[in-house]
Structure 1
Amino acid sequence: MKKQQRQGWGPGEQAQQHYLIEPRALAGGGDVRHIGEFLRASGWRDHSKPAGPLSMESPDRTFRIAYDPYLLPGGWTIHGVANGNEDEWWAHLGRQTPVEIVAGVTDALTRPRSAHAPNVWAPLQEQHWRTPPNAEHHTAISADGSTWMQYHQTPDGAAMWWSGAQDGQGNGWTAQFSASTPMHLVQAFSTALASTEPVMRPLGRVPPSTRIRSTSVSVLPSQLSAWQQARLNAARAASWARNTARSTGPRTSARPHAHTGGTRTRH
């Protein structure tokens, strides 16, 4: 078949078939590099062994993130050490948790905390998730019934956040957050979970589920590279800004005022 050359394409580039998947919670795990490369660009230490599980540590050594697909049940482990007024905390997210949802938490670990009080339920309410009136634990369920978020508390006082997605055909995942997990991180997770933005998967990596909607798109390798690079550039810029702010410290004198005058096919 003769290669087609379109305006704006690089020399010799061929479009690759990908799919936009909705709902994102049922899109499958995705590419672990989406998280690992972002953390490296943010200045995190990479303790991963060659061809082994992902293992990352924050620059100040207060957070650790690991992904191990080889152990059962496998998946993501996020751990925070006791720090100041915050207790030690942990989170476990299953192997099929989409990396875009995991990144809701891991990206948030690289950013300064917002001054606004966190609200885990707000992103879910904005997307019209329903709250069963007779549920034993406070629960929110997506409109299509495939995804949930729950604050689970036992009679003896033990508590945790529990979430997940199931399609009724054996595909799905669960996630647990300790009760001591900082609330802004749980909200970052619920925001990514509730997002209606589809996620992209390459040909051959679309889950065999009747509950998902897929849109076929033609994507150039240079486009994929540019999107990935933009994410890494943003991480490097934020890391540089944080390091610069720490190294300069507070100023003792006032600074002079500066005047500033491809075709889609729905399946």
Structure 2
Amino acid sequence: MKRQKAQRWGPGEQAEQHYLVQPRALAGGGDLRHVAEFLRASGWQDRSRRNGPLVLDSPDRTIRIGYNPHVQPGGWTIHSKATAHQEAWTVSLGRQTPVEIVAGLTDALTRPRAAHAPNVWAPLQEQRWNISRRDGHVSATSPDGAAWMEFRHAPGGEALWWSGARDEQGNGWSATFTASTPMHLVQAFSEALASPEPVMRPRGRVPHSARIRTTSVSLLPSQLGAWQQARVHAARAATWATGPQTAGRPRTTARPYANPSAHARR
């Protein structure tokens, strides 16, 4: 492992060891607050019960995001009701889907749609994924073979998007998107999936895999907290800029749902 020391500052603080993990698709689930606190700061309502599954509703109550580790197979479910301009849709993501990849999709739910037509495959092509097309099926595989993204037809004829990642031991996660899932959301997911940027995990929360590359870094708690708060502050600022009167005052205090410290474990 490479070792890189961060600057030590702050009275009485002790640096803690973390790891930058690549590829991000194999980094393990991570801290749920990366997703949840951004949504709360964006005006989403936390409907979670104490020590229960995470449940968040969009300001207009058309979309619900949940994370439940207590059922099989467990993980994330994102469901949108049908509206005048959009069919109902559902996305399911396994519990070991890295939160940074989940956030690629959920963050996009807080932003207006871009004017240009979405292209799910473009972010993958930019990162040199291998893309093949056959009989109406399209599949893309990462250069290291660990992650994939597919558009295919299920045995019953229904079309769906399918994605995921596996290490050499078969450990990993998968995600499915109904065909009615808005394409700009699927593209936001594929961008986060294909990103070459590493993700950070604390010591003891890095999966054991020969396919993972890690760089050790020493961080002060205040540094890590500042980076986390910067994400929350950006969400809050964007919410107020687009009209706080429609979103309500966001609440950013985390509720003690479903033991978030354990969710990075395989």
TM-score, normalising length: structure 1: 0.87
What is the distance in 1 between the residues matched to 2:82 and 2:172?
32
Equivalent positions of 1:158-197 (< 5 A) are 158-197=158-197
- Aligned partner of residue 110 in structure 2, secondary structure: coil
**Counterparts of 2:102 and 2:61 in 1: how far apart (Å)?**
20
- 1:155 shift after superposition: 6.3
Name 1:253's counterpart in structure 2.
none
Pick which of 61-70 and 238-247 moved more: 238-247
SS of residue paired to 2:56: strand
1:70 is aligned to 70
Distance 2:54 2:133 in 1: 41
How many Å apart are 1:137 and its aligned residue?
2.4
| 2:113 is the alignment partner of 1:110 | no
1:107-137 deviation per Cα after TM superposition (whole angstroms, max 9, x unaligned): 0001111111000000000000002466882
The percentage of aligned residue pairs carrying the same residue is 67
Match of 1:202 in 2: 202
Q: CA deviation at 1:166?
A: 0.4
Equivalent residues of 1:171, 1:209 under 8 A apart:
no
CA distance, structure 1, for counterparts of residue 199 and residue 149 of structure 2: 20
Residues 9-158 of structure 1: pairs in structure 2 closer than 5 A = 9-132=9-132, 137-154=137-154, 156-158=156-158
Shift of 1:170: 2.7
CA–CA distance in 2 between the matches of 1:99 and 1:148? 17
Alpha-carbon distance between aligned partners in 2 of 1:7 and 1:118, rounded to the nearest angstrom? 41
Deviation of 1:62 after TM superposition, in Å, equals 1.1
* Counterpart secondary structure, 1:145: coil
CA distance in 2 between partners of 1:61 and 1:142 (Å): 36
SS at match of 2:130: coil
Is contact 2:154–2:160 with CA below 8 Å preserved after alignment? no
Q: CA deviation at 1:245?
A: 8.5
Greater RCO between the two (CA within 8 Å, min separation 6)? 2
How far the C-alpha of 1:243 sits from its partner, in A, is 1.3
Amino acid at match of 2:23: P
Amino acid at match of 1:124: L
Cα shift at 1:17:
0.2
RMSD: 1.8
Name the CA distance, whole Å, in 1 between partners of 2:7 and 2:141. 45
Unaligned runs of 5+ in 1: 1-5, 248-267
Q: Secondary structure at the match of 2:243?
A: helix
CA distance in 1, matches of 2:244, 2:161: 36
**Structure with bigger gyration radius:** 1
Equivalent residue letter for 1:229:
Q
Cα contact 2:125–2:131 (8 A) shared by 1: no
Q: Distance in 2 between matches of 1:52 and 1:157?
A: 36
**In structure 1, C-alpha distance between the alignment counterparts of 2:245 and 2:32, rounded to whole Å:** 30
Residue 131 of structure 1 aligns to a residue whose secondary structure is strand
* C-alpha displacement of 1:84: 1.8
Give 1:190's aligned amino acid.
Answer: S
Secondary structure, in 3 states, of the residue corresponding to 2:161?
strand
- Which amino acid counterpart does residue 115 of structure 2 have in structure 1? A
TM-superposed deviation, 1:7:
7.0
Q: Is contact 2:168–2:210 with CA below 8 Å preserved after alignment?
A: no
Q: 1:97 to 1:244 in 2, by over 3 A?
A: closer
Aligned equivalents of 1:123 and 1:14: distance in 2?
A: 39
Alpha-carbon distance, 1:52 to partner: 1.1
